[in-house]
Structure 1
Amino acid sequence: MAETNNHKLPMYAVIFTVIFKLLFLLTHHIQEDAFITWRVAQNVMDYGVIGFNGDIKISASTTHLYVFVSYLFNLIFGKEYFVEPILIFNSILFTIGSLFLSHLLLKNPWHKAIFIFLFGILPPSIKISILGMEYGLLFFLEMALLYYGFKKEKKWALIVFPILILFTRIDTVIFLGIVFLVDIFWNKRLRWNYILGGVLGICFALAFNWLYFGEVVNNTITAKKLLYDKNFTLSQDIEYFRLNYGNFWGMLKVPGDFNPFTILVLIFELLCFVFLIRQQEKRNYFLWMIFLFAWAKQLIFLSQKSLFDWYYWVPQILLFVPVLIFVLEQKVKRNLWLSLLIVFYIIPMVAFQTIHSIATGNGEWNYRRSIGIFLNSYEKDKNQWILLEPAGYVPYFSGLKTIDEVGLVDRKIQDEIRKDKKHYWINTVKDRKPKYLLSYNDLFAGEDGGYYRTHYQLLKEYRIKDHLKSDHKILEKIYKLKPSGTDYNLYIRIR
């Protein structure tokens, strides 16, 4: 009976971890881009079209599969009540994914249970679970592929999961490619079912884009590359990496250009990985897969100057896996090792993420959302347009048609960027005459101030300093310790 109960420990750990992380829902820390995906899902409900502004087709979201999942949650729970259920669903999926990972790497049920909990409360794991992005679904699918396809050797899994993974995000070709290379090196043979799954996945994702949207890659990729693309020399690339590696390679962001904390953790992760693979265990097969993928994903995305936090969440936690295994399997003074890890890393990281989520939740949910709520009540005609950046909270809660600066949700602005990148904002305003403008800057004071003063008036100012207050003194201290948000000016067209 005791042995049976021990085997249930990992599942108990899944349940406990999910319940623990649900506390973070109280922070209302939801990623801006999640609202883009959810608006696309609601656009499917309202217009029968995968788009953002009415019946115009556009791949405004980075993920197709998660759009359909979000559509189902909207359909089941309604637009007003689907958010909490889908966040809980994401957390459950991610934690089940960590259960699969524990089965791949550990044997002892107690070790698996502790691993699931500690792994699940690391900052990237919390963000994957409760920020509303597609990475909970993606992590589940990737770990399910490794568990069912490569450990259990289910042929169906080698075909089905690559298709679902690629339909979630096309850049997962990096993960699938690393797994393919490690498998060939390790087993000295080709898995034709896996090759078939990969080929079908790529063909299905690209064919869907081409047949439905008339494009090969998602519009989001095209838009970001168009606006953010810069030509760097080798020395500039090296300097760029030095300035940014710390904030995206590690779990802790610190001010300044130099992040010694990340270097120390990275060195320890490497040492633990080397220690483990020298043991000649069967699990090394999977350790190589996840560790090489994490390094490859980080290097590729940093080299492409992709400075969006969520690209790095999964690599960050996978790089830390060898540390957790190393500590859990210590035969001498294991409790001391585990205590040191919890006291000096896990608890500080959870505390950091708690403060970060509370502060960011205030800046996003309490502050930026209020702009959308104001516009929703102020402007009854939802066919009116607003030009702004970013395209998450404000368009979602205002219901207005949207032109975003990057072109994620509107292709026409990309044409202006191609014609005249320096003046594309004012050219878009003159050509399309949106009723509302939401800007970080004082438009009346710029070089085109005369045009703006003639055609627009300031409707409302939004200042983050006005939202750093709370009846709860601890919350107020956190808001002021880590203010999150940007000052905005909202303009309305007058002629």
Structure 2
Amino acid sequence: MERTQQFERMPVYAVVFTVVFKLLFLLTHHIQEDAFITWRVAQNLLDYGVIGFNGDTRISASTTHLYVFVSWFFNLIFGKDHFVIPILIFNSLLFTAGSYLLSKIILTNPIHQAVFIFLFGILPPSIKISILGMEYGILFFLEMSLLYFGFTKGKNWALVILPVLILFTRIDTVIFLGIVFIVDLVFSKKINWYYVLGGILGLISVLSFNWFYFHEIVNNTIVAKQTTYDQAFTSRQNWIYFLQNFGNYWGMLKLPGSFNPFTILVMVFELLCFIFLIRKKDSRNKFLWIIFVFAWTKQIIFISQKSYFDWYYWVPQILLFVPVLIFVIEQKHRKYLWLTLLVVFYILPMLAFQTIHSIATGNGEWNYRRNIGIFLNNYEQDKNQWILLEPAGYVPYFSGLKTIDEVGLVDKEIQAEIKKDKANYWVNTVKKRQPKYLLSYRDLFVGKDAVYYRGHYKLLKEFRINDYLQSENKILEKVYKLKPSGTDYNLYIRIK
């Protein structure tokens, strides 16, 4: 009896062990650029009482409302200088708790659940969701809580409350909620009215909040990206972009500029495992259909909209891999051989890849891009001065300067310039707004607008990624040079 109870506790032990294991990645300082946008919005709320980015101007600069409030709370409790590590641990714990609930839905053996939690938790998207600082940790927890408490345990409170929280985390989760509704309707042959109520309340709540607080229906971030990135590509250009981002969609490796055939093998194996599992009549089939159909649907929708940001695909990537883990873990014959093959030829290589990626990217963003913000913070004491740049994460956060970003995520005025004259919106914004600082990928003193820039700005400092590829640790230095992460910048200051 005591041994059985120990086995029952194994999934909980697996949660703790997995979280502790993934916390090692905090040493890489790999934090997503967009996390600092959300955190600055949270600090703006703390300082000005306004959800915004630049002082008391309201703007939905972050893609997530709920995570802004969570970040605000962590800033309030731990302070601006000490909240990052606690919130990253919190995100990792929430995500792993979500994987615990998922394991309860799809597996009955506690040992199988424990193995699933750990292997699922160390896949590259799982690591990124946990420690990169974005809202997907809390989102995954809420979505799995909905499936577990609402549709496995039949808790009506979960069916009403959780859709509201999910939609407040990201408005595009309407895709997930819609797929859940359709699959549940097909399996149960009846409408779950509590869930319908939850969905209606969720939509009314988030859309009303957007309208009455920001005077918009959808988040500004969505509008800004559509405005800036809307391009009429040829068929050939669309195909090139598709190949460049292919690893985002069905795999876990993104190799820019190349077609990764390994991804096709993984995709086919995922599909075969899914077909194998659903052939058996089982109560979990409904949930397998939910996660598999949702993952494919979200990817197809976002691909069709040319959404090439890799974080949009983290949750679909890991959910598509769930049938593979179930198939291997539940093997009755040569189980350990299957498990060994999976770990040796997939899990460990993926973990190694993510480790190298996190070390290199952490260097390029934390050591390099953050350093630009720190330089500006020390150089410019007047935090009411403006800087025009892209992207709006590290540099604005650590400089404290008011910010105009090229895309318009944190400043709506530049969107009007993009709509008016997209080819010249950058220089038009500079002439109209006259920001004190410009941070550019290119040399502004060369090109058609060089005369204007030379007459009004001077080069303050050059930032070069090659200057940050050295380390006293020779192994780290090899990783930095193997996968250099970062872009050269020129920093200009206004003279007239």
Q: TM-score, with normalisation over the residues of structure 1? A: 0.99
Say which SS state the counterpart of residue 382 (structure 1) adopts.
coil
Letter in 1 for 2:149: Y
Q: Distance in 1 between matches of 2:244 and 2:372?
A: 33
1:398 correspondence with 2:399: yes
Q: Deviations over 1:302-351 (max 9, x none)?
A: 11000111100000000000000000010100000000000000000000
Instruction: Give the ranges of 4+ consecutive aligned residues of structure 1 lying more than 6 Å apart after TM superposition.
Output: none
The aligned counterpart of 1:342 is 343
Q: Distance in 2 between matches of 1:239 and 1:49?
A: 42
Q: Deviations over 1:12-39 (max 9, x none)?
A: 0000000000000000000000000000
Say which SS state the counterpart of residue 281 (structure 1) adopts.
coil
Q: Deviations over 1:343-376 (max 9, x none)?
A: 0000000000000000000000000000000000
The 5 Å alignment of 1:61-100 reads: 61-100=62-101
Q: Distance in 2 between matches of 1:415 and 1:43?
A: 24
Conservation of the 8 A alpha-carbon contact between 1:241 and 1:303: no
The aligned counterpart of 1:131 is 132
The 5 Å alignment of 1:109-148 reads: 109-148=110-149
The aligned counterpart of 1:373 is 374
Conservation of the 8 A alpha-carbon contact between 2:248 and 2:313: no
1:316 correspondence with 2:317: yes
Q: Distance in 2 between matches of 1:226 and 1:364?
A: 26
Letter in 2 for 1:79: K
Q: Deviations over 1:267-301 (max 9, x none)?
A: 00000000000111111110000000000011110
Say which SS state the counterpart of residue 445 (structure 1) adopts.
coil
Conservation of the 8 A alpha-carbon contact between 2:245 and 2:254: no
Say which SS state the counterpart of residue 245 (structure 2) adopts.
helix
Conservation of the 8 A alpha-carbon contact between 2:74 and 2:87: yes
Conservation of the 8 A alpha-carbon contact between 1:247 and 1:254: no
Q: Distance in 2 between matches of 1:30 and 1:465?
A: 20
CA shift, 1:231, in A, is: 2.8
Q: Deviations over 1:386-409 (max 9, x none)?
A: 000000000000000000000000
Say which SS state the counterpart of residue 445 (structure 2) adopts.
helix
Letter in 2 for 1:199: I
Q: Deviations over 1:238-260 (max 9, x none)?
A: 55434432343310122433110
The aligned counterpart of 1:258 is 259
1:306 correspondence with 2:307: yes
The 5 Å alignment of 1:49-448 reads: 49-232=50-233, 237=238, 240-448=241-449
Q: Distance in 2 between matches of 1:255 and 1:170?
A: 29
Q: Aligned-residue CA RMSD in angstroms?
A: 1.0
Letter in 2 for 1:463: R
Say which SS state the counterpart of residue 224 (structure 1) adopts.
helix
CA shift, 1:479, in A, is: 0.1
CA shift, 1:486, in A, is: 0.2
CA shift in 2, pair 1:427/1:136, >3 Å: same
Say which SS state the counterpart of residue 217 (structure 2) adopts.
coil
Q: Deviations over 1:179-235 (max 9, x none)?
A: 000000000000000001001101100000000000000000000000111234667
Identity of aligned residues (%): 74
CA shift in 2, pair 1:422/1:255, >3 Å: closer
CA shift in 2, pair 1:247/1:154, >3 Å: closer
Letter in 2 for 1:76: I
Conservation of the 8 A alpha-carbon contact between 2:142 and 2:165: yes
The aligned counterpart of 1:490 is 491
Letter in 2 for 1:428: T
Long gaps (5+) in structure 1: none
Q: Distance in 2 between matches of 1:246 and 1:127?
A: 15
Conservation of the 8 A alpha-carbon contact between 1:456 and 1:494: yes
Long gaps (5+) in structure 2: none
